[in-house]
Amino acid sequence: MKITITGIVQGVGFRPFIYRTAVTNGLNGYVQNRSDAGVEILLEGRKDAVENFLREVHEKKPPLAQIYEVATTRLHGSEEFSEFTIKRSSDVAERSGSVIPPDIAICNDCLRELRDPRDPRFSYFFITCTNCGPRFTIIEKLPYDRENTTMREFPTCGFCLKEYRDPLNRRFHAQTVACPTCGPKAWLTTSSGEPVQHDDPIREAGRLLSKGKILAIKGYGGFHIAASATIDRPLRTLREVKHRSQKPFAIMARNLDVVRAFAEVSREEARLMSSYACPIVLLNKKDAYHLSDLIAPGLHNIGVMLPYTGLHYMLFDSVKDAAFVMTSANPPNQPIVKDNEEALEALSETVDYFLLHNRQIAHRCDDSVLRMHGKTPVFMRRSRGYAPAPIRLGKRASLRVIGLGGELNSTSCLLLEDKAFISQHIGDVENLETEQFLKNATDHLVRLTSSKVEAIACDLHPKFTTTNLAQELAQKNGWQLLQVQHHFAHVAGLMVEHNVDKMVGICCDGYGYGTDGEAWGGEILLCTQETRDFKRIAHLEKQPLPGGDLATRYPLRVAAGILYDKTEAEAWLLENKNHFPHGKKEITTILNQLEKQRRTVTTTSCGRILDAAAAILSLCFKRTYEGEPAMKLESTARNGKDTLKLKPSMRNDTLETTPLILELFRKRTDLRTQDLAYSVHAYLAKGLALLAAEKAEQEGIKTVGFTGGAACNEILTSIMRRIVKRSGLRFVVHEAVPPGDGGISFGQSVVGGFFQS
Ligand SMILES: [Zn+2]
Ligand SMILES: [Zn+2]
């Protein structure tokens, strides 16, 4: 019998497993990896043994393997094999849809060996096996064999080779097998790249961090910048040189027990943090929070991950620190740094030391970030540990489509039959470097899945880099080009994720280019797969955006735009004149422009209303990272109540926001800030949910969804859920795809695959 298996079956110890299963069932033949990331098996033997084999393949498969499809063909003729072997990989690539696994955190067996002085890999930072280690970030091409990875440069020693060839060993056919004799080496250098002689460079790096030094540390998918989590001085330096005055830093903690001392950890959060993906999880700070306030200033939560490589564990060995700051090393508007040379060039002014190793990184990959809304995981960023494993959909797409994403926080996505492969996090695609990264990541996805693309989807915005790139690629390759409205992409993605074909979708975020060319961002859309389109059925009130982009950076401008002719706003703005780069003069210009109604841009953005509220409550006057004012407003609202008790004011399918901002302004000093912050959430969530539920009932639609960057906000989400459910409707949010712009590429590609005829 010839068997081909598709799924995640390379790089997960699948061939050794097939070998053992065949041998125990007394079968002869072979197993081999194919260039389409699938596995081919030939079996000779008794019928009942073959049947038993097939059952065991499903029941006993290795923990990281995923089987999508098993195709069997009965063969006839005489027996040819006298044993079962693992054959050299073949270059056959005829079945698309298989893929190699994401990078996998160090397993418990490897961790035990790392700690065992009698083990040949004792204290070896790059200890891995068939169950763990890097995959996605080291693979250059398929099939997954050592010569196709960046481990190619490290020929195995006799000891490693013996394990590699031993069917009973955990490292049987482990492509990343290495030891201190034959594998990659780590070393320390000064900030200018001078080697620092040390017998134990990794533990020395930990000691340097503990003493207050800043280090660049090479990991699986790129460099981290690391520092102490309790000493303010290096963090202050880091914020100055990185021009990151407020943006939160992620931290890596020694273990879960120490995390519990400074943050709340639910059972679900603990499980997520300890999973093989080992993501950063945003945890609520405890009252007893004892780490530096410079890590996540003004926020109620902190991003924490556990060590995921041998090297990470060793950093903590000879120090008492509970955690270190571990933030992606990316220069402004650039992808995460991955090569040693590149790091020395880009980071030498930021760090005191480099901890380098000599294994190349084939593909950049940032850490993933999630938070839990109760028991539902929400992706802020889906990257290391998840990419390129596909999202499996309940139905088949009619087209093979690439989605190139929007502009900020981008990813790309390849939709192939009933699976969507989303790339690692690319970032803000605004310059050549990130555009190149997007191109490479997209090519890599296409190669990894051996697929033939038919269409390419992008945003409706005529000037996005990704729109231009899509047009270029469509023309060059003869692909169909689809331009998809931003918020339609969000809602369509949510529909396909939940296999729903009609939905009223609430989509709230900062900005998306509307079909009328205006700035949208607080939308209620009616989408049906039948009509293959969407209808904008309601939205937030249009508000002026004085200065356009400037207003997104300085939220006081948004507040000024709403308040200018209504109250004693001018006096208040003047009180805050120091928060305008040009002081009083700037305020006068803004007010003059508003009064004369000189072509001010308007927006229906929900993000801008949250921004204005944050400014009125003095929580944030300058946005230094995406979402900052809204995140600080949510953090403040966490223990608040709705004391404003404002009834949502609707007019002609518009939820008015002026009454909210006006009332907030009037009561800004009378009521508690946390209650006012909560009241803003309550007004918007209630208003939008009531509108959406009403529309759904009118249209006979059973499902209301919430998507867009604002769906990362737990308060908005939980209020909406309550109201929609009370109306007897189903309420859905994203669970597999980021609700923010990291999910746009997915939404664009499913519009191509499911909403087109
Ligand atoms: Zn392992
Ligand atoms: Zn070795």
Q: What pLDDT was estimated at residue 757?
A: 66
Ligand 2 centroid distance, CA of 162 (Å): 9
178: which 2 tokens?
A: 């290495």
Q: What pLDDT was estimated at residue 97?
A: 75
Residues 6+ apart with CB under 8 A from 344: 189, 192, 193, 354
Ligand 2 centroid distance, CA of 158 (Å): 7
pLDDT at 599 over 80: no
Beta strands at 519-528 and 533-540: parallel, antiparallel or unpaired: antiparallel
pLDDT at 617 over 90: yes
Task: State the SS3 of 277-331.
Answer: CCCEEEEEECCCCCCCCCCCCCCCEEEEECCCCHHHHHHCCCCCCCEEEEEECCC
363: which 2 tokens?
A: 């593909």
Strand, helix or coil for residue 60? coil
Could you give the count of Cα atoms lying within 13 Å of 341 in the half-sphere of its Cβ? 1
pLDDT at 481 over 80: yes
pLDDT at 147 over 80: yes
pLDDT single digits (tens) 713-756: 999 999 999 999 999 999 999 999 999 999 999 999 999 999 98
79: which 2 tokens?
A: 């027996």
| Distance of alpha carbon 487 from the chain centroid | 19
401: which 2 tokens?
A: 């489509």
Ligand 2 centroid distance, CA of 157 (Å): 4
Ligand 1 centroid distance, CA of 372 (Å): 28
Ligand 2 centroid distance, CA of 219 (Å): 20
Whether the CA torsion 192, 195, 201, 202 is positive or negative: it is positive
Ligand 2 centroid distance, CA of 159 (Å): 6
Ligand 1 centroid distance, CA of 357 (Å): 19
Strand, helix or coil for residue 672? coil
Ligand 2 centroid distance, CA of 309 (Å): 18
Ligand 1 centroid distance, CA of 101 (Å): 14
pLDDT single digits (tens) 634-655: 999 999 999 999 999 999 899 9
Of 238-242, 300-304, 732-736, give the lowest mean pLDDT range: 238-242
- Percentage of the chain surpassing pLDDT 70? 99
Of 88-92, 184-188, 380-384, 463-467, give the lowest mean pLDDT range: 88-92
Ligand 2 centroid distance, CA of 123 (Å): 14
Ligand 1 centroid distance, CA of 612 (Å): 50
Yes or no: say if 102 and 136 are a contact pair by the CB < 8 Å rule: yes
Ligand 1 centroid distance, CA of 110 (Å): 4
Angle CA 73–79–82, to nearest 5? 115
Yes or no: say if 134 and 175 are a contact pair by the CB < 8 Å rule: no
Q: What pLDDT was estimated at residue 580?
A: 95
Ligand 2 centroid distance, CA of 486 (Å): 51
Ligand 2 centroid distance, CA of 126 (Å): 11
The C-alpha atoms of residue 371 and residue 740 are separated, in whole angstroms, by 13
Ligand 1 centroid distance, CA of 127 (Å): 7
pTM assigned to the model: 0.95
Ligand 2 centroid distance, CA of 697 (Å): 66
- Give the pLDDT band (50/70/90) at residue 146: very high
Say what angle helices 465-477 and 432-448 make with each other, to 10 degrees.
40
Starting from the CA of residue 12, give the closest ligand.
1
Strand, helix or coil for residue 716? helix
Yes or no: say if 288 and 261 are a contact pair by the CB < 8 Å rule: yes
The C-alpha atoms of residue 90 and residue 87 are separated, in whole angstroms, by 8
Starting from the CA of residue 174, give the closest ligand.
1
Q: What is the DSSP letter of 353?
A: E
Ligand 2 centroid distance, CA of 49 (Å): 37
The C-alpha atoms of residue 704 and residue 714 are separated, in whole angstroms, by 17
The C-alpha atoms of residue 62 and residue 169 are separated, in whole angstroms, by 14
Ligand 2 centroid distance, CA of 177 (Å): 7
pLDDT single digits (tens) 528-553: 998 899 999 999 999 999 999 999 99
- Give the pLDDT band (50/70/90) at residue 598: low
Task: State the SS3 of 459-495.
Answer: ECCCCCHHHHHHHHHHHHHCCEEEEECHHHHHHHHHH
Ligand 2 centroid distance, CA of 447 (Å): 31
- How many CB atoms neighbour CB 600 within 10 A? 17
Ligand 1 centroid distance, CA of 112 (Å): 9
Of 83-87, 141-145, 342-346, give the lowest mean pLDDT range: 141-145
Ligand 2 centroid distance, CA of 115 (Å): 18
CA distances from 700 to 497, 524, 687, 694, 703 (A): 21, 16, 20, 10, 9
Beta strands at 455-459 and 215-218: parallel, antiparallel or unpaired: unpaired
Yes or no: say if 543 and 561 are a contact pair by the CB < 8 Å rule: yes
Ligand 2 centroid distance, CA of 172 (Å): 13
pLDDT at 347 over 80: yes
Starting from the CA of residue 179, give the closest ligand.
2
71: which 2 tokens?
A: 């195709």
| Distance of alpha carbon 16 from the chain centroid | 32
Ligand 2 centroid distance, CA of 107 (Å): 19
- Mean pLDDT, the chain, whole residue set: 95
pLDDT at 92 over 80: no
pLDDT single digits (tens) 40-59: 999 999 999 999 999 999 99
Starting from the CA of residue 127, give the closest ligand.
1
Closest residue by Cα to residue 104 from 220, 218, 217, 183: 220
Ligand 2 centroid distance, CA of 202 (Å): 19
- How many CB atoms neighbour CB 392 within 10 A? 11
The C-alpha atoms of residue 154 and residue 178 are separated, in whole angstroms, by 8
Closest residue by Cα to residue 635 from 613, 611, 616, 619: 619
Starting from the CA of residue 64, give the closest ligand.
1
Ligand 2 centroid distance, CA of 342 (Å): 28
- Rounded CA Rg of the chain: 27
Task: State the SS3 of 369-386.
Answer: EEEEECCEEEEEECCCCC
The C-alpha atoms of residue 601 and residue 547 are separated, in whole angstroms, by 8
Yes or no: say if 674 and 640 are a contact pair by the CB < 8 Å rule: yes
Starting from the CA of residue 108, give the closest ligand.
1
608: which 2 tokens?
A: 């801008």
Ligand 1 centroid distance, CA of 220 (Å): 15
pLDDT single digits (tens) 550-595: 999 999 999 999 998 877 889 999 999 999 999 999 999 999 989 8
The C-alpha atoms of residue 629 and residue 753 are separated, in whole angstroms, by 36
Output phi, psi for 446, to 5 deg. -65, -45
- Give the pLDDT band (50/70/90) at residue 78: confident
Strand, helix or coil for residue 745? helix
Residues 6+ apart with CB under 8 A from 688: 506, 508, 522, 524, 540, 655, 720
- How many CB atoms neighbour CB 671 within 10 A? 16
